Structure 1
Amino acid sequence: MLAFVVAALLGSSGPQSPPPAVPQTEPIQPSSADATSVRLEDVEVTGQRDDPVRAFVNTVAAPNRHRGIARWDKAICIGVANLRPEGAQYIVDRVSTVAGDLGLTPGEPGCAPNVIIIASTSADALAAELVEERGRAFRMGGAGMDRGRAALDAFVNSDRPVRWWQVSMPIDSQTGAAAIRLPSECGGSCTGGADFGPKVRLPTSTRLSSPIVDSLIRTVIIVDLEQARGVTVQQLADYLAMVTLAQIDPEADTRGFQSVLNVFESPAAVDGLTEWDQTYLRGLYGANRTRNIGSGLPELSDSIRRVQAREDAAAPQ
């Protein structure tokens, strides 16, 4: 299986062995959320700093250090390994559908995955092996492309049902060109600082705005099959969609919100992406992201409020 994963990370294709069978659970009927959770309809759209929209954004958003919020730019290709074909295809289709609804272009069958989801009964060993054998796929060496060594160690040592690692790239929003140099582009002699600085001209940059935005380029997700037995494949697919399409903090405490991110703690309380989650994703993919980096979270909050206001205006009275 490791050979398949490495091939996927490198953007190449290779022979795949038949995936082993994985027991599927019966669908769980949705029920009302815990009374202490905040529902979207409880949100009053205001400019106050302590409003629930801002609280949710500050809780779950996890941009890379000194970088803005990243999202997928155009195309996304989902690969799933080590699940029954029907379960794997459901996850691919569901995540691709959510991505398509956000304006992304889902990959056709046979595309080179830039999102690889691996199910395993030995998640810890798999994570450690992948990082050891393909460390450069997790930390490419460019400034601001990942969450750092400590976060990667947390990925390897995680005890959660699902763990994920994302790599992003600062790009010129006007041309789509990479805005940093990688070690491979300077013969391995990059030492940081100016060597990793932007390689594009920024004539329109100001203290308030910049054409440089951050684009996700790779996501690796490992599902611990033993810990994921309590949820259905439908719930799992929606959870995977959320952590694939946005930079979500794996340590976020979302118990105060009605979100699919709570599905492993309360499987009966949520059956998939909630209004909170869907509005968050629509706000993320509708944000301009051209303000300076320090404005990333407020800008995301503002975008979510605009999405909510448009949908409220369009809803039947």
Structure 2
Amino acid sequence: MIGLISVAAAALALSAPQDAPPQTTLPDVVVEGRNLEELVRGFVEEVGAPVGDYGPARWDRSVCIGVVNLRRELAQQMIDRMSAVALEVGLEPGQPGCRPNVLVIAAADGGEMARALVEARPGLFLTHVSGANQSRSELADFQATDRPVRWWHISLPVDSDTGQAAVRMPGYGPAATGNTFASRLRTGIQSDLQRVFIIVDFNRAGGANLIQISDYVAMVALAQIDPDAQTAGYDTVLNLFGSPETLPRITDWDLSYLRALYSAELDQARANAQSNEVARGMARDQRRDGDE
């Protein structure tokens, strides 16, 4: 991962971020007219972006966050805020000096930065390992989009007991085949996140401040979020850049989704069964919050 940081640092001379403007707070978004189960299932289906026929991926126990191309104090604020979200969903943030597997890069031109990174190390983005990354066309979108924040996840199907790769990897031995309790319904294999690149284009961030951006980035760092998800009907930080004044930080709805993702058993044989497990957990979490 040190090499990964070096690649990013080499491209950072292309841009310099702007400071984020102050925060404005307005009332929360209220969603009405749909029952909880329908809302939850719709959200999980809308935002999820697993690789191919594999189910949703997540980090295994811990995550190390690095932020580059921001002033030290601003980078630390972002790391601290993202780490707080990671703790909230049951992950252990890395200690100072850890090797980042979440790399957040601030840029004045996100497209130029993305193209420079992909050109410098294309193998970090297209791994040629089954279940590891999205397609070439989606990588092209990662480079060409004008979204304020863009991201690229790398995941790996692993044995849920040992963490060993469950797909063939160049230069490694045979793939793990899942634990001995696997069945037609459960495979003993789940997808773990391995690294994620996130580029924040501060010239396109509008009125969003650093806390809001940090929460948005935490959401897309901890889960495979579809960049084209239509989320206007939900109370989520993913609506940030449509109306930054209404969303001061990550919402209870977002945290319910992440908690469900990180508490679900994700070794079902079918990807949609895994998504259904997340939806059920999210609905339970929302009901529990409503009773408190």
Give ranges in structure 2 of 5+ residues lacking alignment. Answer: none
Report Cα offsets for 1:213-244 as digits up to 9, x if no partner: 00001000011110014210010010011000
> Given the alignment, which residue of 26, 32, 38 partners 1:31?
26
Cα distance between partner residues in 1 of 2:276 and 2:84? 28
Residue pair 2:16, 2:108 contacting (<8 A) in 1 also: no
Report Cα offsets for 1:1-28 as digits up to 9, x if no partner: xxx9844288xx99x99x9673231122
The aligned residue for residue 297 of structure 1 is: 275
How high is the sequence identity, in percent, across the aligned residues?
Answer: 39
TM-score by length of 1: 0.84
The aligned residue for residue 184 of structure 2 is: 207
Say what the alpha-carbon RMSD is for the aligned residues: 2.6
Residue pair 1:5, 1:116 contacting (<8 A) in 2 also: no
Map of 1:196-275 to 2, 5 A cutoff?
198-200=175-177, 202-275=179-252
1:166 paired with 2:153, answer yes
Map of 1:1-317 to 2, 5 A cutoff?
6-8=3-5, 22-28=18-24, 30-34=25-29, 38=31, 44-46=35-37, 51-185=38-172, 198-200=175-177, 202-294=179-271, 295-313=273-291, 315=292
Cα distance between partner residues in 1 of 2:17 and 2:254? 31
The aligned residue for residue 194 of structure 1 is: none
Cα distance between partner residues in 1 of 2:260 and 2:150? 24
Give ranges in structure 1 of 5+ residues lacking alignment. Answer: 187-196
Letter of the 1:105 counterpart: E
Cα distance between partner residues in 1 of 2:36 and 2:178? 38
Report Cα offsets for 1:30-52 as digits up to 9, x if no partner: 21245xx527xx76445xxxx11
Q: How far 1:177 sits from its partner (Å)?
A: 1.2
Residue pair 1:21, 1:84 contacting (<8 A) in 2 also: no
SS at match of 2:229: coil
Between Structure 1 and Structure 2, how many residues are aligned?
289
Q: For residues 201 and 282 of structure 1, do their structure 2 counterparts lie closer, same or farther at Cα, with a shift above 3 Å needed?
A: closer
Q: For residues 257 and 134 of structure 1, do their structure 2 counterparts lie closer, same or farther at Cα, with a shift above 3 Å needed?
A: same
Residue pair 1:260, 1:273 contacting (<8 A) in 2 also: yes
Report Cα offsets for 1:141-191 as digits up to 9, x if no partner: 2101111111111101111000000000111111111112212337xxxxx
